[in-house]
Structure 1
């Protein structure tokens, strides 16, 4: 088999990835709410992490994150990075087009300045009605909608693409064999 048709197929698949939509842009301007069973944070030294544990829920607009533990890192007074762990970490957010995306993983590392989430450990990104990606590592850029997946070791990336013009199944008329 020639590598040219395989390369074209991969480029076509990459171009058609239905997961490439942008997270709701207005969420960034909403209040960030955090709930946890316990916290260990310093208000005097922003170089120290703020550790939240005992069941953590983070909400901002339509974004909702549930985790067992969160490690928040600040610089210059702003949060720069949030490392979430749990059994598993669950995230859900509405997209600008009105659809939803949800994700689960053993760990999520959210880099706020880059607006990028790295999901590791049985990672799944799902957009109902559009598609799904599973792998040991998925990188999701929330501002551009780009999703990259990779397997670690023998792991593989698995994707499902839903047809754009999916027609509902038609029920045959009564009495039709």
Structure 2
């Protein structure tokens, strides 16, 4: 999976040993299991060690689907009530943070499947990002983003994603 999504990674061995995003997600899976068993202090303690090691902070209470790819992951923060669908991609400095608002028990964003988030983007509060949405680098997203749309800017605004035209 990492080999398919990171052109700079040349082998499975390289991915295994050097991809901090991969390590962070593996450790998240273990701490999330501990969190679910009620071993919350141990889960948080391990997640803090992993944060120090990888520079990626994933709260063990977050819910993450399959195949999350974190590329150049330094500075990524994923909050406790964040929900991330399958096949999402994050670049460095992405924050899924709380804003103090609580909506249906959530303080953090909910992402659909196939969402891509550019470097330095900040998503705050109990917002929803639809399937296959794109969030531009440096965007500050405080609003819902529909499926198949792009959000850019500070504060972010939603654009219509350009349609691909078939080649003649």
Return the index of the structure with the highest Cα Rg.
1
TM-score by length of 1: 0.32
- Indicate the structure with greater strand content: 1
